[in-house]
Amino acid sequence: MLNRGNSADAGAITHLLGRPPRPVREFIVAPSAESAQAKLNWLLPLLRSAIALVWIVTALVSAGLYPVADSYRLLERTGVPPSLQPLMLYGAVGFDLALGLGTLLLARRRWLWLLQIGLILFHSVVIAWKLPEYLLHPYGPLTKNLPMLVAIWMLYKLEEK
């Protein structure tokens, strides 16, 4: 068998493929790029799910898992009059829930990423201005917005248009 060679006529596979077969050395042209793409194929859905979970849990916590009276006090400190506090609180609950569900269910999300970034920036500015104690809070509620913003911006840039 060694004297006869170890390759066959490529005619049948060429016909099946519609082109000549490639040599093995050409199977993976850019290993690092293909490795990065393979990782992104499972990491991006995981990142989207994590971001969706943040919005959905925020909605649930705001809907009553966190004491509503305390939420109203925070809203009052930011300048929201008592008569508008229920509308603002439960409007935010609905909006956060919609952002989370949209992150999970929408096929095209580029506009949604920009909306999330805008909302996070708006909240961060209002909180820093009206509730400055959260800037240096030991649990870092505002500084945690930075990786969230970067993650959402990354999704915006990496999703197909």
pLDDT tens digits, residue range 24-40?
A: 888 888 889 999 999 99
Alpha-carbon distances, residue 45 vs 35, 51, 55, 81 (angstroms): 17, 10, 16, 40
Whole-prediction pTM: 0.82
For 62, left (φ over 0), alpha (ψ -120 to 50), or beta?
A: alpha
Mean predicted confidence (pLDDT) in 135-159: 95
Distance CA 158, CA 156 (A): 6
Say if CB 52 and CB 103 are below 8 A apart. yes
- Given the structure tokens 């040599």, which residue do they identify? 23
Distance CA 94, CA 91 (A): 5
pLDDT tens digits, residue range 86-127?
A: 999 999 999 999 999 999 999 999 999 999 999 999 999 999
The pair of three-digit structure tokens given for residue 37, joined into one six-digit string: 């793409």
- pLDDT category, 4, cuts 50, 70, 90? confident
pLDDT of residue 23: 85
User: Residue 22 carries which DSSP code?
Assistant: P
User: Residue 137 carries which DSSP code?
Assistant: -
